[in-house]
Structure 1
Amino acid sequence: MEAAIWDQMVTLHGMVTQRLAKEMQRRHSIGLSEYQALRRLAHAEDGELRMQELAELIGLNQSSVSRLVARLESGGLSRRDHCPKDRRGVYTVITEEGRALQREAEPTYRDVLAEALDEAAADARVSEFAARLRV
């Protein structure tokens, strides 16, 4: 039973992720990982997270999150900062431009997520798991 539910989750995740990624790129010219990082940063205390914490929250490894943050920085959407108590600790901090883009893209994210989950509820491969998410 656990393996079957896990399989449904993996399939559903792929379906929803592909849909979100396509629409975020099409409507806002931003990748899904970039949006997810901005969303986490926007909701974090002081708009900042340690790089490792951000990696864990969005499901990336350290190398991938470093490249992601570099892309955000080059777009003026975030900046790096050092931890005042531990100079080895590196934070990424959302900028006002990053906040503006996240606010602009949030309705798209929510709407597409809801649409994708509605469609999944009718898909026999994932309907059981999708129904559990909508409770």
Structure 2
Amino acid sequence: MGAGATTAGTITADAMLWDGVVTLHGRVENQLAKALQRRHGIGLSEYRALCRLARADDGELRMQELADLIGLNQSSVSRLVARLESAGFTRRAMCPKDRRGVYTVITDEGRIVQEKAAPTYSETLTEALDAAATDPSLAPLIATLRP
């Protein structure tokens, strides 16, 4: 029996809602990723990491904290940070109080890339949500999510 199905094979309201959320998420993420890559040469995860770092106190976060904020596991965030470091967008720093604690710190170059990409992200997000609002299967969800 599939997820969200009842014994009679009907789909619950919660399952239908979640299916809509998953569909909306996939469409929006795909459009955001393509726009950021095409216009700025960065991936969506890189952009989100740079945003979180730019907003953090002193522009730095512990690796695990960054992983939690952008929804990645420890291994994935380590690879992401390695890519950001290679590009010159971040650097690693050790925690002065706990030498086991590793931070990633946004560089000036990382801030510039994030600031240049922010309008692309915002415009693409609005376009993607506007397009979803015209899809009869997603319009009610968009109406609920948008103020």
The answer to which structure has the higher helix fraction is 1
Q: Residue 106 of structure 1 is aligned with which of 96, 118, 121?
A: 118
CA RMSD of aligned residues (A): 0.9
**1:37-73 C-alpha deviation (Å, 9 max, x unpaired):** 0011111111111111111111111101000000000
Q: Is 1:127 the counterpart of 2:132 in the alignment?
A: no
Q: Shift of the alpha carbon at 1:29?
A: 0.6
Higher RCO (CA < 8 A, seq sep 6+): 1
Instruction: State, as a whole percentage, how many aligned pairs show the same letter.
Output: 67
Cα separation, 2, equivalents of 1:86 and 1:124:
53
Q: Shift of the alpha carbon at 1:125?
A: 2.8
Segments of 4+ moved more than 3 angstroms: none
Contiguous gaps of at least 5 residues in structure 2: 1-12
Q: Is 1:56 the counterpart of 2:72 in the alignment?
A: no
TM-score w.r.t. structure 2 length?
0.88
Q: How many residues align?
A: 135
TM-score w.r.t. structure 1 length?
0.96
Larger radius of gyration: 2
Query: What does residue 115 of structure 1 align with?
Result: 127
Q: Shift of the alpha carbon at 1:124?
A: 2.2
